[in-house]
Amino acid sequence: MKPEAGDILGTAADQLMGQIAPNLNANYLQGSLAVQALLLKFAAREYERGADIRFAENADMRALFAELAPNIGDAGLRAQLTTAASTTDTSFAISALNAANAELRRHLIALQVHMEDLGDRAAQKRIWDALNVMAARRVVSLF
């Protein structure tokens, strides 16, 4: 079994934090290295979950558009959201998922502004529920 990138990053973080940082004399370098090690820990976890987070978030936004678009009176926005809802992720490269994610987020902002202007409380609640799930999924654990 070969080590995955996440294992390598995680082990490097442990070594930096546990063995190297304590042996540095310079206060600044010790602090800086500890933060670098923490970032490697984050990166190790992101290697495992990064694509999944983005894939799930993109799917959630498309589902939201598919649900709310049919009731939107503004033909332009309805068409925009209907088209966005029908797209799919064809690559799991982080850069490709990020590009799709950015586009979907733009549509989400437009949808939320529209529902706020209309005063549609039910739709706004549905959007905030989705945003809550997205935000919770992206939270980074320190431990």
Partner 1 sequence: MSDALSLALAEYLAKKLEASDLTVHDLARIPGGASRETYRFIARSGGRERRLILRRDPTASLIETERSTEYRAYEAFHKLGLPVPEPIALELGVSALERPFFVMAEVENAFVGSILAPDPYGAHRDKIGQQFWSNLGRIAGADPGALGLADFDGAKDARECWRHELARWEKVIDEDEGEPEPIARAAIRWLKRNPPAPAQKIAVVHGDYRSGNFLYDLNGDIRAILDWEMAHLGDPLEDLGWALDPLWAHHDPSRPAGTIPRAEAISLWETTSGLKADPEALFWWEIFASVKGLAIWISAAHEYATHRNDDPVNAFSGWYCLAYHNKVLAERLGALA
| DSSP3 helix / strand / coil % (the chain, rounded to 5) | 85, 0, 15
**Can you tell me the distance from the alpha carbon of 36 to that of 134, in angstroms, rounded to the nearest whole number?**
26
- Contact between 113 and partner 1 by CB under 8 A: the answer reads yes
| End-to-end Cα separation, the chain, in angstroms | 26
- Contact between 105 and partner 1 by CB under 8 A: the answer reads yes
| Residue that is written with structure tokens 């304590």 in the block | 22
CB of 106 to partner 1, least distance (A): 5
Nearer to partner 1, 42 or 66 (CB): 42
For residue 123, count other CB atoms closer than 10 A to its CB: 20
CB of 1 to partner 1, least distance (A): 29
- Which residues contribute to the site for partner 1 (CB under 8 A)? 26-28, 31-32, 35-36, 38-39, 42, 98, 101-102, 105-106, 108-109, 112-113, 116, 121, 124-125, 127-129, 131-132, 134-136, 138-140, 142
